[in-house]
Structures are given as structure tokens and as C-alpha cells.
Chain A
Amino acid sequence: TQLLEQSPQFLSIQEGENLTVYCNSSSVFSSLQWYRQEPGEGPVLLVTVVTGGEVKKLKRLTFQFGDARKDSSLHITAAQPGDTGLYLCAGGIYNQGGKLIFGQGTELSVKP
């Protein structure tokens, strides 16, 4: 069974701080997607990384896919209250028709 371990599960920080969320597995993934989910809403895609070692930036968010395609990280610089939400990583499985394996999520709270 392929699993994605996401850490930390909960994170409460002050506005302006930096943070990193990790997503780790013993399995190799064809791609890694990061989603953000707000209470009462569905997940919304932030980024997809597909190449080992790939780094993508989205404003204050930096996403990295590990060289071996088994892990990923999300770094947020100068967090703002609007960043509050549940962050989910999801790994793509080779040859399984678009199936994603989700991590259990990191619940981020950014206090003003």
C-alpha cells in the first residue's frame, strides 16, 4: 500500500513567520500535487510538480519535488492570515488512471 506521510499535522504560527510542510513516502510517484482546502469547501490545486528535483514558486509559496520523486515540501515565506487552511499533498500513481494518494493534511493557522 502506498502511503504519503505529511508533517506536521497541525501548525499554528504568527503572521510574518516562515514555515515548511513535508510530504514523505517510501514509494516513487509520477507527480506530486499540492492542494489547499478551506473549511466547508473542496480542495483547490496550488501546483503540480512532475520532475525529480523540480522547484516551483507561487508568490510566497515554494514547492519542491525530491530528486528520487518520493518526497516533497511546501515552504511559505512571511505567512499571512489568508494562508490559513488545510494543505494536502497528493501523489500520482504510475499507470493507474489518474489515481492520487493523499497525505492526511497539515492544518495551518496563521494568527495576526
Chain B
Amino acid sequence: DAMVIQNPRYQVTQFGKPVTLSCSQTLNHNVMYWYQQKSSQAPKLLFHYYDKDFNNEADTPDNFQSRRPNTSFCFLDIRSPGLGDAAMYLCATSRVPYSNQPQHFGDGTRLSIL
């Protein structure tokens, strides 16, 4: 089945130690999104790629960066994680960047900071 896969499902890192989260998709979608979701809160868009074009949300901390080396893969890099960065990180895709298009989500990576 075509899907969005996130690895790892659970990630534990130390305060200040860089961490990379991975997302891959077999849907061949043009758009890939990264969301941060804290407990009992709405998913918050961090950035998205439309093909190779990177779009950063204005309030996304500089600590967060992303790479999309090809259509299938997208990475979220957190350079110096703080305690406030502990959250579920969701990757999603859509075929085209229109707001009526469904977004297909992975099962997320839960990040813990020690």
C-alpha cells in the first residue's frame, strides 16, 4: 500500500544534542509537510516543500531545519533541542498544494528530550 512512513516512531535525545527525524512516501506526492503536535494541542505547521521549493512558517524557530533530497524523502533536523521541543512530529503529503487537497499523514515520531 502507498503510504507515508516516519522513522523512528520514538526518539529520545539529550538537551542540546542534534537529532534528525525521517519521513518517506510512496505516494509520489509533490508536497511534503512537517507539523509539531504537543499534547492536547492542534498540529502546528513548521514548514513544507512543494517539489524543491522550501516554505518556512514565520514562527518556526531557527533551531528547526528541513531537507528534501528527492521526491520520496524529507528530513526534519533539530539543531539544539530544548525541553520545549518535546512533542509528536507529524509528516504529511499532498498531491498538489491546494487547500482542498487531502493530506496524508504518517504515524508520527514522538520526541523526548532528557
Contact = CB atoms under 8 A, between A and B. Distances in A.
Interface of A: 4, 9, 29-31, 33, 35, 40-45, 48, 50, 88, 92-94, 96-100, 102-105, 107
Nearest to A93: B99
Contact of A41 (B33, B44, B55, B108): B108
B42 A45 contact: no
A35 B31 CA distance: 19
A40 to B, nearest CB: 7
B99 A42 contact: no
24 contacts: A9-B40, A33-B102, A33-B103, A40-B107, A40-B108, A41-B107, A41-B108, A42-B92, A42-B105, A43-B105, A44-B105, A45-B102, A45-B104, A48-B100, A92-B98, A92-B100, A96-B99, A97-B48, A98-B31, A99-B45, A100-B99, A102-B43, A104-B41, A105-B41
B78 interface: no
Contacts of A40: 9, 107-108
Contacts of B31: 97-98
B95 to A, nearest CB: 9
Contacts, number: 75
**Majority secondary structure of chain A interface residues (helix, strand, loop or mixed):** loop
Interface of B: 4, 6, 9, 31, 33, 40-45, 48, 50, 55, 90, 92, 94, 96-108
A97 B107 contact: no
Contacts of B98: 92, 98
Contact of B90 (A42, A94, A97): A42
A35 B90 CA distance: 14
A105 B101 contact: no
Nearest to A107: B40
Contacts of B48: 97-99
Specify which of A88, A93, A102 lies most central, judged by the most chain B CB atoms within 10 Å of its CB: A102
A6 to B, nearest CB: 8
8 A-B pairs closest in CB distance = A92-B99, A42-B105, A98-B97, A102-B42, A97-B97, A31-B100, A45-B102, A104-B42
